[in-house]
Structure 1
Amino acid sequence: MPLETLQPGKVRAHLNSLLEDKPITEASLRSPHIEEANSLLKASGGNLGVAPHSSTTLLWDLENYYSGYYELLISGGRDATVRIIWAEGLYENLTFRDNQKNDRREIVGKFLPEGLGDRFVPDGSEDRRFTPIWWRAGRYCLIQIETAQHSLELKKLSLHASGHPFDWQGTFSSDQDDRLAPILKASKRTLEVSSWDTYQDCPYYEQLMYVGDTCIELLITYAQAKDSALPQRVIELYESSREQWNGLVASRFPSQTPQFISTFSMIWVWIARDYLYWQDDPEFAAQLLPGLRHSMERFAAWEDEDGLIENVPGWPFVDWVDEWEEGVPNKGRDGVSSVLNLIYLLTLQAASAIELAIGEPELAALFERRSQNVSHLLRTRYWNKERSLIQDDESAKAYSIHAQILGTLTGVIDDQEACDAFQAASSSSDVSVASYMFRHYHFEALRKIGKGSQILTELEAWQGMIDLGADTVWERLEPTRSDCHAWSSHPLFHLPCSVAGVRPSAPFFKEIEIAPQPGPLTFIKTTVPHPQGLISLDLRFENGNCQGSVELPAETSGKFSYAGQEVNLVAGYQKL
């Protein structure tokens, strides 16, 4: 979104004192100065006076999540202290690290953390405008004023909201819009406030671009926006990060502090594969080949004598799981982990697909042979037939949904075995669960085995956020630190691309696959951007049959698959 001056929300609390370590009280909501305070949010401004040697606190609820540059218009108040603190939500107690926020709309009895903010000291002049030199983000803005010998007039509050100007063209509607539309709205808002000239993991905390997050953010962009500039920029930035780690992509970039997450360096290959399929730009894709080949050579150096990677260097982060130390699965640092090797297998498969499409067939064959070897070893050593589960390591004591998801995506287990594994995982108390981020791959696995309609049920976890007043989607299962994390925005991808089933089936999106898995939905209307235009569906489902229409862009073709039936598609409008 381009820079836009707004005056959103309202001032919900006013105190004639500093808040300090006290909670917001019911009385502060009924302050006689609330009306004056809210006049500051009028286009013409207002006036809230603060006498000499006194204090005032305002809690501005923007009633949505924003990122940008706030502005205060102030007159007088020489040597006063003006403090601004931003927060995503208020906390139930002063132990902020336990992240107990509950309903994000509620403020009474709750505390504001010592969050990101600024401190200004007015010089006493008229109509001084105070704004930060870096963006701020959140839903709540606390303004605390402590005057010295001179009175101060606060005249206006405003926000210069900013972010990447996405050209949103993707749509999804169904007979469950009442439930799904708020989830899509919160997911889209999250990506909007987390994208500038790069993607961000979150706008409030790190404000950094991580490979693992970017992989998901790129897919959302491909599925929802007509935008190649931002994807190309971030891919080029990651390419330039190779100098830091001897040819491997940095986990986050640009960043003042270098960091190496070994799993993210493998996921980088997935990003290149996705670009190859979703964008029609062979020249740009080909520029990635030298770096990808160097990466694959470096990964090979991690292999043991059998061909599995072990003692993986750096931080082999996979997901925030309670049972894992720092997001690393069992044997992730000091042995052979099935989860890490499944990620490696996906990487070998992606590299083979890239080489086959635009590179060297010999390299494609090499990566395919290595992937078959890794797949055979993983099935032989880690598939526990008695439990219908893939083990995290050879001890048969550690299990995770992650191994089942990755085993499904790689083909280590077949579709029926995958169904059995997911059933066994859901009914077992010793199987670690996935965060919102890794559920992206769970949804991918469900689509692969023809269970994409289960995504609609799985979105109950996102509904839980909405029920607690979320305007954006969260980083982790409750209690969560970050209330705005773009890696959890993937319902924007999966509803049109897994439930409605629109995907590229050939490099450069030359061929299109449409394989809806609607489950209980009686109709789906969706639009997915394509390099040559738009893909549009208008489908109705009844008694196991599908009727409707499909429209494909020029110079494309595809297949429509439903209930065991296939129909060839051509460019233009056609009825089913």
Structure 2
Amino acid sequence: MIRHFLLLVLISLPLYAQEELNYPEVIYGPENIHASWVSHPDILGGEDRVVLFRNTFKVDNTSADFIINISADNHYFLYVNGKLVTHGPQLSDIQHYKYETLNLKNYLEKGENILAVKVINFGKRRFLGMQSIFTSLMVNGVTINAEQLNTTGKQGAWVCAIDDSYKANEVVWRGDKEKSIVGGFYANNPTDIIDLNAYPTGWELLDYNDTNWQKTEFFENASSMGGSIAYLLEPRNLPLLSWDEEQIGSIVKSSKSITTKFPVSDELKIPANTKTTFLIDQQYVTNGFPELLFSKGKNASIRIKYAENLFGPNNEKGDRNNLEGKQLLGYYDLIISNGKDAQKFIPNWMRTFRFIEFEIETKVQPLVLNSFKNYRSRTTIPSVAQFTSDNELYNQIFDICKRTIDICTQDYFLSDAYYETMQYVGDTKIQALIWQAMSGNTEHTKNAIRQFDHSRDSDGNILGAYPLRSTFIYPTYSLVWVDMIADYYNVSGDKEFIHTYKDGIVNTLAGFEKNMNELNLVNKTPYRYFIDWYTGPNNGSGTATKNDGENSAVVSLHYVHALQNAAMLFKEIGDNQTSLVYQNRAEEIKKSVYDLCFDMETNIFAERPDKTIYDQHTNIMAILTDAIHESEQRALLDKILNDKDLLQATYYYRFYLFEAIKKVGAPELFDVALKPWEKMIEDNMTTTLERFESIEKPTRSEVHPWSASPAYFYFNYLAGIQSVKNDFEEVRIAPAFGKLKTIIGSLPTSKGTIEFKLNRTKNKLSAEITLPITMAGNLSWQGTEIPLKKGKNVYDIKNEIK
């Protein structure tokens, strides 16, 4: 594997550069929205349709700000004078429906201009995270000159047409039809079937003839009764997504001889009456909106298939760089050519891929593929953390972790980039911490915590994923939401944040308490206590047992963990009475777990009192909650890491394993816990897997942020950099190293970037640390504490070996 494959061919497109005006502070709130939601007269509601909207308007002064609010259901692309401005809205729910606020002045010309919007409804199989009421558009002029763009449905210049070229292509993963994907559950959007014979080419341009288009029809007011008849609008609270040009890799396999270097350079000509297949290898997994430009080829079919990996005869994956005997199995777009020059296809939703396969069948006219490139989609908050060590394997693991986190941080946290793309609580707890290390920014974290808070039901359950149009409830994830608030407070020191969510914490913990039985262990619930993707005969679909988690020690200890965090949070805001109630309840449950589940013969915890199931997870959580005395924790950790008969913690739960290693101060065990990631590097993976390979649960998602936790602990534990006051106003650096001897890197924070170079030889530490001018801190090494000054610090510390 080539080191530093993060250096990609990316070209920023200043032509499309645009900023969200309400980020980071709200300037244009919903109180000034006077427009209405509009639609096409022939739209019924939830069917898969694309509606095109146009408004031709005049501008006299191109130097004046021209500010609008815009939103749509399900998704929109905004063009001004043929140029793409952005797409949206930011993912949220009906009660907090987002709108973007944009200044369009740099796109305008004196005289006539055209604002064009494509609105897509993905239909009944739309993304499970996408809430919807009706296919509709809202545009509101903020500045006086932009009020002419207000959508009303009653008058004005807005016209619309249904794009009959589009049909949603369901990604089949269940039922009797042939499956489109390997691995089961798919919650992402359908893909596209586009017949360009029916496409109104040039509809987004000023000179397009729209005289036959219809006037828009009123759907609902955006502001009446607070907007409560339809969507409750609120401003976007994260920056717009990137639209960066990324070169797509070369053809590596084809059914016919291909001599050109398409798509890296040159065109590719496909003769008439020909079937052609070719495979492109991007060399690394990426995501975005691939753009195909092509010409001629009347009625030719172009099927573009996307996948993170290739599959062998038995759906095995193996070395991702070994293509022999493997095939691409994945979702696809299908385009029918209209035979004209300069045709363009860009999918209506983000695609994720390392491999792309074209299946082309031409008719009587040859087809010319002119170019193929990707517009990469990410949050535009910079991800700039760097890490290098003397161990190349660790460096490569960092690279694949960072790429995974970057791909999956859009305008919310994606659980994975291909199959589901939902924002799950358990996944997000881990991803948020890693993203904060990569960017030094907590806005995505705060957004996720707030959205999860919106999901709470009448029993106090936080939905397992949110935003959501379904009902996924994992009671353990409700507890993790409390843990997320504690994580954020531990970094930020923001007590107002605790006050914002204290009532929610009380409600959630009271709801979970109803699950507890007379043994002080958990009862069965109608829902699933997800813990990890266990493998082996006791796989319980995410729990360690097949008895629906009844009397589960690890679930009970997760409740303890949340109670302990809640006790800390309430103590911090001076509510000592509530804090004591939570702490006492945590102690009761810990004692019961120890008395009922600790096996005196093996000196490890069983997963339940009948002592028939033993796993690493229960013992990890026992260490993290002090369910076993601190003096015995190291021995317990050694034992569970060396006992292969225990149900093993997979990638997700190894976050908690790393936390336990850090808690007991055993950096030499970090490398043991890291072993599963070595297999990813061996197999030339460029992003991180969802779960361990097994017969029961073969690997599925290959871009899964919960598996990227090593990158967080590289900074937080091995380099030992931690905030101790007010989001890095004060920092403590206590290197642990593990098996490493040299650690070099940079860690962005809200107070600036910490640059560090750490080297150890036996009992000596050489440290070169540069702190931002707004930061103070201490360097700690084997009992020696040294104050760090602002700017550059150089120290050599030598302690006697005892």
Q: Which residue of 1 aligns with 2:30?
A: none
The equivalent residue for 1:299 is 512
Determine the structure 1 residue equivalent to 2:243.
3
Q: 1:446-505 CA distances to partner (integer Å, 9 max, x unpaired)?
A: 011111232234333212211211011111122411111111111110111111122234
- Name the aligned partner's letter for residue 104 of structure 1: R
8 A contact 2:248–2:263 mirrored in 1: no
Are the equivalent residues in 2 in contact too, given 1:280–1:509 (CA < 8 A)? no
RMSD (Å), alpha carbons: 2.2
Distance in 2 (alpha carbons) for counterparts of 1:403 and 1:58: 49
Q: Take 2:262 and 2:657, find their aligned partners in 1: how far apart are those partners?
A: 49
CA gap 1:49/1:575 in 2 versus in 1, 3 angstroms = closer
Using the alignment, how far apart are the partners of 1:324 and 1:245 within structure 2? 31
* In structure 2, distance between residues paired with 1:359 and 1:530: 28
Aligned to 1:202: 416
| 1:249–1:182 distance in 2 versus 1, CA, 3 Å | same
Indicate conservation of the 8 Å contact 1:307/1:370, yes or no.
no
2:290 alignment partner in structure 1: 70
**Counterparts of residues 349-428 of structure 1 (less than 5 Å):** 349-358=564-573, 360-428=575-643
SS at match of 1:39: coil
Relative to structure 1, is the Cα distance of residues 133 and 456 closer, same or farther in structure 2, using a 3 angstrom cutoff? same
Contact 1:275–1:285 at 8 Å: present in 2 too?
no
Aligned-residue offset at 1:123: 1.4
Aligned positions of 1:467-486 closer than 5 A: 467-478=682-693, 479-486=698-705
User: Structure 1 530/112 Cα, relative in aligned 2: closer, same or farther at 3 Å?
Assistant: closer
Query: Number of residue pairs matched?
Result: 549
Provide the residue aligned with 1:258 in structure 2. Answer: 471
Give a deviation string over 1:168-197, Cα, whole Å, max 9, x none: 343333222x22221111111111111210
My pick for the range that moved more, 336-345 or 321-330, is: 321-330
1:377-526 equivalences under 5 Å are 377-478=592-693, 479-505=698-724, 508-509=727-728, 511-526=730-745
Q: Check whether the contact 2:449–2:481 (CA below 8 A) recurs between aligned residues.
A: no
* Pair 303,120 (structure 1): closer, same or farther in 2 beyond 3 Å: same
Q: Is the CA contact (8 Å cut-off) linking 1:172 and 1:524 kept in structure 2?
A: yes
Measure the CA separation in 1 of the matches of 2:303 and 2:373.
16
Q: Which residue of structure 1 aligns with residue 264 of structure 2?
A: 41
Letter in 1 for 2:596: R
CA spacing shift, 1:453–1:559, aligned 2, 3 Å: farther
- Shift of residue 392, structure 1, vs aligned partner: 0.4
Q: Give the corresponding residue for 2:377.
A: 162
Q: Does the CA-based 8 Å contact 2:455-2:463 persist in structure 1?
A: yes
Letter in 2 for 1:319: D
Q: In 1, Cα distance between the equivalents of 2:728 and 2:580?
A: 23
Whether contact under 8 Å (1:331, 1:337) holds in the other structure is: no
Unmatched runs of 5 consecutive residues or more in structure 1 = 17-30
Which stretch has the larger CA shift, 229-238 or 512-521?
512-521
In structure 1, C-alpha distance between the alignment counterparts of 2:268 and 2:546, rounded to whole Å: 62
Q: Distance in 2 between matches of 1:290 and 1:443?
A: 31
Distance 1:386 1:238 in 2: 42
SS in 1 for 2:279: strand
Structure 1 position 60, deviation (Å): 1.0
The correspondence of residues 305-320 of structure 1 with structure 2, limited to 5 A, is: 305-320=518-533
When residues 351 and 554 of structure 1 are mapped into structure 2, their CA distance, relative to the original with a 3 A threshold, is farther
Q: Tell me by how many angstroms 1:555 deviates.
A: 6.2
Other-structure match for 1:109: 325
C-alpha contact 2:667 2:718 (8 A) present in aligned 1: yes
2:308 match: 88
The answer to whether the 8 A contact 1:80-1:147 is kept is: yes
1:60 and 2:280 matched: yes
Does structure 1 residue 125 correspond to structure 2 residue 345? no
Length-normalised TM-score, structure 2: 0.65
Q: 166-175 vs 551-560, which deviates more?
A: 551-560
Compare CA radii of gyration and give the structure with the larger one.
Answer: 2
Query: What displacement does 1:526 show?
Result: 3.9
Matching residue's letter, 1:14: S
Map 1:313-332 to 2 at 5 A. Answer: 313-322=526-535, 323-330=538-545
Correspondent of 2:387 among 172, 176, 193: 172
Higher RCO (C-alpha under 8 Å, 6+ residues apart): 1
Alignment identity in percent? Answer: 27
Paired amino acid for 1:451: A
Return the TM-score normalized by structure 1.
Answer: 0.90
SS of structure 2 residue aligned to 1:251 = coil
Deviations 1:306-325 (A, max 9, x none): 54332244111100011321
| 8 A Cα contact 1:222 1:278, kept in partner | no
Counterpart-to-counterpart distance in 2, 1:457 and 1:329: 22
User: Which residue matches 1:341?
Assistant: 556
Distance 1:352 1:572 in 2: 37
1:79–1:574 Cα change, 3 Å: closer
Task: Kindly provide the CA deviation profile for residues 281-330 of structure 1, in whole angstroms up to 9, marking residues without a partner as x.
Answer: 44344312221121111112222235433224411110001132101123
CA 432–571 in structure 1, closer or farther in 2 if over 3 Å, else same: same
TM-aligned CA deviation for residue 508 of structure 1: 4.7
- Give secondary structure in 2 for the equivalent of 1:288: helix
